Structure 1
Amino acid sequence: MPLLHVKDLSIILSTNDGPARAVRHLDFHLDAGETLGIVGESGCGKSMTALALMGLLPEMSRTEGQILLDGEDLLQKTEDEMCRVRGNRLAMIFQEPMTSLNPVHTIGHQIMEPLRLHLGLSESDARAETLRLLDRVGIPNPTARIDNYPHQLSGGQRQRVMIAIALSCKPDILIADEPTTALDVTIQDQILELIQTLVQEEGMALVLISHDLGVISENTDNILVMYGGAAVEIGQTERIFDDLVHPYTQGLFAAMPKLGRARNARLITIPGTVPDLIHMPTGCTFTDRCPLASDICRNTPPPVVEVKAGHMVACHHVQEARHRKTEELFS
């Protein structure tokens, strides 16, 4: 049994214009110690999936399917039960630490809180463990910093505090949702290296959400490509990078800047825009932007095809996509 098994997950948001399917029939699993990257454009359902795992979806939302943690369905748990799961077995590093940290509490107080709630540590023991965590995530002079407020720290230091909070109770699964979005490139590399090191040392599973394919390739074992709330390709990261199949995955890779490209050369782009979640195509979610789209794509959801062992693709035109060069599809 996998540590985490997401089965046929759908997330429906209530809006003034009608129900919006933010996530559609999502399936994936995660074993202990495994790393999974979730990649896709903004609005494809990455963050909604993370919030569903944590039980933090908006009130005006409805879920279908199952999220099984060691066989227990998290979607069936009460809020009190989820409070015992969050921070203890599942922890999350959010995109923007300045809006995630409480501005009126010191960083020491915020790290100590899960230690006292979940582990039952005394105040003195929690403070000692907080100093250890601050040192472990690379905060200089933890004794002086522990009583600082978030606004007194740099962006990189705030993100390190978020990591310390997430790791404080040694969760089974760490979810990192665009953890380096607001950081410069140098600090970004430091934060990613820190997360990877800590995950390996603690034996945790990692779900890393990003739009940066370079970050995903260097930090994950497996990759899940999402578009329009649905999974379009999933498999081992190395295998997918070596054999791009789905036209959307090919488009994402084609849009990446490449060394050696002429200075005035235009980047390849995927034409069109992400579909409206309220008025999704009946068939494949990528239909309106796909150069291979046909009538069957518009009217029938694509089958999930195994192109290689563990490499799954949801597409009606797998063979044609595999034998066309990426540049040919989107030139």
Structure 2
Amino acid sequence: MTLLSVHDLSVFLATSDGPARAVRNLTFTLERGQTLGIVGESGCGKSMTALALMRLLPERSTTTGEIILDGSDLQKQSESEMCHVRGNRMAMIFQEPMTSLNPVHTVGRQIMEPLRLHRGLSITEARQEAIRLLDRVGIPNPMKRIENYPHQLSGGQRQRVMIAMALSCGPDILIADEPTTALDVTIQDQILDLIQVLVHEEGMALILISHDLGVISENTDNVMVMYGGAAVETGKTAHIFDDLSHPYTQGLFAAMPRLGRARGSRLVTIPGTVPDLVSLPSGCTFTDRCPLATEICRDTPPPVIVAAADHNVACHHLSEARSKRTEELFS
């Protein structure tokens, strides 16, 4: 059963140079219990997509399109109605817990807030549930830690607190936006394993945003590759990783460090930089960086082609791109 349906979503940000189109005509669905990974470089629209779903975009931004959660269009909800959705039906783990947690309140008070607001628990009941949640996410001595302020916890512990807050009301959808940023590899694995276990046990859907292709590969069923605010390749994670089809997706994989490279060899890079969102080309946004680009790419939006079952690619030169090895395009 479809839980979330996003259709033709676009986000415009107000800048001194004019409106920046941070998300462009994005369409996807999410089933109950499904995991979706969103991957791409910084500035490609991943976090803006998440903020648009939560209706937490910056001031003066505008959105078009539909965000249907269980039959209700969130775009048409009032702010008061959205307050009952955020943290209750949809919850988000933000990139940096030190700036997301309130430094002047204890972590216990911050976990208790959604419990009292959405579930109507008393202070005593909310405190007991907050202690249970801290224990559930692996915080040692939760009865003591509940009185701590964020600065008294390590980075990994702060991230666990964020997870506890996000899971406090049993949301239908959990959005994890780079949940392991700035954490060491061991803590990163622990956090990702914890999220997977909790998502599986609670039966919720997960949207995982990451730069790390390895993280996406191991933790999601489906993946959406974004560039220039749009989805350039979507489908089952295993299918896409086995059959890289869009030149941008190939470039991301080619840039990954690999064991066995000759000493002193340079990593493969995608030339150029991400496009200016204020002055995007009328055609494919990857045109200036793509080795296969022709005039049609610059002037005409690429068609979305079904490369295989559950595998869609937006590219004018799909056949040529699929005929080449991953590193061949950018060597």
TM-score range, shorter chain: over 0.9
Partner in structure 2 of residue 261 of structure 1: 261
Shift of 1:195: 0.5
**1:287-311 deviations in Å (ceiling 9; x for gaps):** 0000000111000000000010110
**C-alpha separation between the residues in 2 aligned to 1:310 and 1:91?**
27
**C-alpha separation between the residues in 2 aligned to 1:210 and 1:104?**
29
Shift of 1:272: 0.6
**C-alpha separation between the residues in 1 aligned to 2:190 and 2:314?**
35
The within-5 A match list for 1:158-307 is 158-307=158-307
2:112 is the counterpart of 1:112: yes
2:88 is the counterpart of 1:91: no
Gaps of 5+ in 2: none
2:145 is the counterpart of 1:145: yes
**1:266-294 deviations in Å (ceiling 9; x for gaps):** 11000011000011011001000000001
**1:143-174 deviations in Å (ceiling 9; x for gaps):** 11111100000000000000000000000000
Letter in 1 for 2:128: A
Shift of 1:178: 0.3
**C-alpha separation between the residues in 1 aligned to 2:327 and 2:218?**
24
Q: Once the two structures are aligned, what percentage of the paired residues are identical? A: 78
Letter in 1 for 2:197: T
**C-alpha separation between the residues in 2 aligned to 1:90 and 1:22?**
22
SS at match of 2:2: coil
SS at match of 2:268: coil
**1:211-269 deviations in Å (ceiling 9; x for gaps):** 00000000000000000001000000000000000000000000001111122111100
Partner in structure 1 of residue 65 of structure 2: 65
SS at match of 2:312: strand
Q: TM-score, normalised by structure 2?
A: 0.99
2:125 is the counterpart of 1:130: no
Gaps of 5+ in 1: none
Partner in structure 2 of residue 51 of structure 1: 51
**C-alpha separation between the residues in 1 aligned to 2:323 and 2:72?**
42
Letter in 2 for 1:168: S
Letter in 2 for 1:283: G
CA RMSD of aligned residues (A): 0.6
**C-alpha separation between the residues in 1 aligned to 2:27 and 2:215?**
23
**1:31-84 deviations in Å (ceiling 9; x for gaps):** 000000000000000000000011100111010101110121111111100000
Shift of 1:16: 1.0
